[in-house]
Structure 1
Amino acid sequence: MFKLPDLPSSQAEVHELADFVELLCWVRGSTSKREVVAYLGRVDDNDNNIGCDDNEDGNSDFLDEVMNEIERRVFACGVGYPFQLDLEGTVLRYNMNDDGERSIIYLYLLLSTRLNMTKNRVHERIDGTSLFEEVCAHVLKNYLGKTRAKALVFGTAVTESFQDKIKALCEQLCEGSGYKNPDVMPSVDRDGKLDVVAWVPFTDRRAGQLIVFSQCKTGTNWKDHVAQLNPGAFVQKWIDGTIAVTPVRSFCVTEACDQSRWNSACIDAGILLDRCRLVDFCDNIDPTLLSNVNRWTTAAKSHVVSKMAW
């Protein structure tokens, strides 16, 4: 997988190269298909092909797929996509004057996909992975209907025990009566793989409501984790009393997912919110959260640029 500050490999997939084009455009202000080919070493200065089909049409067709993916992102994000593709689909330009919340969130998600978020998640003393859970909570609330829906971050409250977090969750949901441990030995679990909970309560506060349990992953190594959270098993295992309707499973990722594998990813993950879907529902984000996202992104970008050899 393509990780900054390195270049993508010659085996990079379309969605990876689309990220590279966006990053190159963000740093340089604009980029073209020809410049991308040169950077990746797919053709040399004399148009001799390297590591690709032995004809110019093969190179052009492949970069067309990448530009088509960028065009798809323009559509999927709605307004606020931070780049502009020209009418010919060959040149991408960075909208540097767009400081709207959608643009800020997109660039944060782009960087937190391509950085190594195990080693480089903290910038400006802000943890980028924790930010992502907060962003996902906001997005899920918007998705369920911001005027009535509620959401909370479950997984990062390190000051609370797992038992306390379960108890607080039951109180807010008005369902379940608290924590239970199915085993004789004390549990060492911290979050049960649950990161964010969103729900739509009724005024009567009775059981039987739409609840969403979501797991959130930055980076690109999320595919092996999509089946870790099982809402029904979570409720049965950790919650005393009754949750009348089994929560719906969701999975949030910073990556703009590979469209050729989208359907199978949704089957495995539940309601899948990738980068473009998150941007599509990020409106009216808390100003403090947005400020922290912007600070993290600015510092992370500076870190990447200082390490780049391209």
Structure 2
Amino acid sequence: MSEPYAPSKRANRVADWIETRCLASGRALGADALFEAGKVHGYKSADLDLGLRTMARRSVAVGEAYPFRVAAGAAAREHASRSVWSALLLMGSEGPLRRSLDVAVAAAHLERITAAASRFLLGPDTQSVRFGWPSEDGRPVEFPDAVRWLAGLMKVPIGTSYRPPVNKDGGVDVVAWRPFPDGRSGFPVVLVQCTLERNYAHKAADVDRRVWSGWLRLDVDPTTALAVPDVVAAGEDWNALATRTVVLDRIRLASLLPAVNEDDRLVPVADWAEDQLEQLRSQT
């Protein structure tokens, strides 16, 4: 892109509404249809123009993983209902099904998306694992055992710091790392927290790298990241996160994952998105 993608909160809200409307209707929505439907929400022509322009910018930023077309209106692409973008949209803070979501189930799907996306975060040969409990990746239940298990996967020594048994995941839901062919220590590691909270700025500092460096003996301090299903708006919202951690919002997660079939972990995510969409259609 020629310039950064930096949407306002208003632009995000309208674009999300148009995308959700397209998914629920299952057909292309022209400008007139959007204008009539938007009246209920107080959206005017200028708002809808902003939303469509925002969708066009999203398409450029995300590429083939963006499941909508924009041209004198908007339409969902084939298989849009099973896309990573649609799953994140439906679990987002402004999603129409937000109040009825099973939060634990949606949170697990966000972790699966993040784990799959993190495989591409540090380049070729990046490895990732869902560390949040419960995990289908083989993580032991007890935290001290889980850290030892993780150290074994990463091929690093276990640290000497006390690992509280009452701890579940130390604030870390996904771990990604990229070993080098020489097999030596000192490779990049990212500790990712995932959250569905509406107000997530305070989560940027939840992962304590110093503590984790005592649990895993790492020669290089790990990087932290925060994964959220929303598109983070420009301005204060973005700055509150980006100055403290790597932001993995909907734009970045989707752009890392061009297709659901990239990772078997995404199949239940796609199934869930289809089920949620059927529920949404039954209500409209």
Per the TM superposition, whether the score is higher than 0.5 is yes
Partner of 2:65: 80
What are the equivalent positions in structure 2 for 1:92-107 lying under 5 Å apart?
92-95=74-77, 98-99=78-79, 104-107=83-86
- Rg larger in structure: 1
Gaps of at least 5 residues in structure 2 are 1-8
TM-score, length-scaled by structure 2? 0.82
Post-superposition CA distance 1:223-273 (Å, at most 9, x none): 33222123233323xx16x31111011111111221344640442452211
Partner of 2:282: 306
Check 1:286–1:78 CA distance in 2 against 1; reply closer, same or farther (3 A cut): closer
TM-score, length-scaled by structure 1? 0.75
Post-superposition CA distance 1:9-31 (Å, at most 9, x none): xxx72212211111111122132
Check 1:275–1:83 CA distance in 2 against 1; reply closer, same or farther (3 A cut): same
Out of 200, 204, 209, which is 2:178 matched to? 200
Of the structure 1 ranges 191-200 and 267-276, higher mean CA displacement relative to structure 2 is found in: 267-276
Tell me if structure 1 keeps the 8 A contact 2:131–2:173.
yes
Out of 5, 20, 25, which is 1:23 matched to? 20
Gaps of at least 5 residues in structure 1 are 1-11, 44-50, 53-58
User: Which structure is higher in helix share?
Assistant: 2
- Structure 1 residue 112, shift from structure 2 partner: 1.4
Check 1:40–1:60 CA distance in 2 against 1; reply closer, same or farther (3 A cut): closer
1:165 aligns to 2:165 (yes or no):
no
Identity %: 23
> Equivalents in 2 of 1:119, 1:233: separation in Å?
36
Partner of 1:140: 118
* Corresponding pairs, count: 268
Tell me if structure 2 keeps the 8 A contact 1:115–1:219.
no
1:120 aligns to 2:97 (yes or no):
no
Post-superposition CA distance 1:29-69 (Å, at most 9, x none): 132444444434379xxxxxxx68xxxxxx43333322221
- Structure 1 residue 128, shift from structure 2 partner: 2.8
AA of the residue aligned to 1:257: V
1:244 aligns to 2:213 (yes or no):
no
> Equivalents in 1 of 2:272, 2:184: separation in Å?
41
1:41 aligns to 2:39 (yes or no):
yes
RMSD: 2.9
